[in-house]
Amino acid sequence: MRFRNSLIAASTLAALLCAGCDSMPGRPKSDAELTRPDHDLNFTRLYAQNCSACHGVNGQNGPALDLANPTYQALVDDATLRKWIAGGMPGTQMPAFGPSGGGLLTDHQVDALVNGLRKNWTKPGTLDGQNAPPYAANLQGDATRGEQAFKTFCASCHQDAKHKITDASYLALISDQALRTIIIAGRPDLGHPDWRNAVPGHPMTNQDVTDVVTYLGSQRIATPGQPYPNVDKR
């Protein structure tokens, strides 16, 4: 009887030790956690690790463009999304994540992000048959016309200090393409209307958008945040 009790006790101890091994710190709990980082194609993880800090946890309410905006998803094509993710966006804080730009994500992971953006945030019928101004500028802009168009379509919201987008420090952080994208697609997470609704009933034309971007670009200075050259330092 004593031997039998000892055997049961030993078996119980062995079972507890094995169970403890399964819960030891650092032990993988699923096959997914065994995946090498450069083989991980899970959109949710890739987005959380690489995109959410700037574009928002759910593609909204981040400091950068809201990727969950269906109008943006309808405006931009897959090749452009892939280009910005892999190579970064010049003139902005958007870095390169793909191998072509020195990033850590593989081409397959960049593709997984593009496919995930489409799957999660594309909404059929977003444009309602309306022809949006093209994503990329294809007209010559005019700053003088753009200033007038800015007063017509933008100044009612962007004339106060809090929302003043003509500020040189703001313009130093955003490219002409990013400005154009926001003007056309809007930022619904921040209450910014798209090109159709800046002035209800009077959608902006391609020329209007191009001219406003040209005007805003003309407000940039060479050394934003630095002392102006003509400041008397005496």
Give the start-to-end residue ranges of the domains of the chain.
32-121, 143-218
**What percentage of residues in the chain have a pLDDT greater than 90?**
68
Q: Which of 13-27, 96-110, 175-189 has the lowest mean pLDDT?
A: 13-27
3-state SS, 108-130, equals HHHHHHHHHHHHHHCCCCCCCCC
Domain 143-218 is classified in which CATH homologous superfamily? Answer: Cytochrome c-like domain (1.10.760.10)
Q: Which residue has the higher pLDDT, 117 or 38?
A: 117
* Pick from 99, 101, 77: nearest CA to 89: 101
- DSSP 8-class letter at 187: B
Give the pLDDT confidence of 125-164 residue by residue, as tens digits: 999 889 999 999 999 999 999 999 999 999 999 877 667 8
Position 52 scores a pLDDT of: 97
Residue type at 45 in one-letter notation? R
Distance between start and end Cα atoms, the chain:
100
Supply 65's token pair.
Answer: 């463009």
Model confidence at 3, pLDDT cuts 50, 70, 90, reads very low
Supply 25's token pair.
Answer: 């710190």
Q: Which of 89-93, 117-121, 190-194 has the lowest mean pLDDT?
A: 89-93
Q: Alpha carbon 107 to chain centroid distance?
A: 18
Supply 131's token pair.
Answer: 């022809």
Q: Is 64 in contact with 54 (CB distance < 8 Å)?
A: yes
Task: Determine the CATH number of domain 32-121.
Answer: 1.10.760.10
Helix or strand or coil: residue 167?
coil
Length of the chain (residues): 234
Q: Say how many C-beta atoms besides its own lie within 10 A of residue 94's C-beta.
A: 18
Q: Which of 1-5, 38-42, 104-108, 206-210 has the lowest mean pLDDT?
A: 1-5
Please say if the pLDDT value at position 211 is more than 50: yes
Alpha-carbon span 228 to 174, nearest angstrom: 21
Out of 79-83, 158-162, 164-168, give the one with best mean pLDDT. 79-83
Supply 4's token pair.
Answer: 């039998």
Residue range 187-201: average pLDDT?
95
Position 160 scores a pLDDT of: 74
Position 169 scores a pLDDT of: 87
Please say if the pLDDT value at position 77 is more than 50: yes
Q: Is 195 in contact with 209 (CB distance < 8 Å)?
A: yes
Position 168 scores a pLDDT of: 87
Supply 166's token pair.
Answer: 């003509």
pTM: 0.80
Supply 74's token pair.
Answer: 């309808």
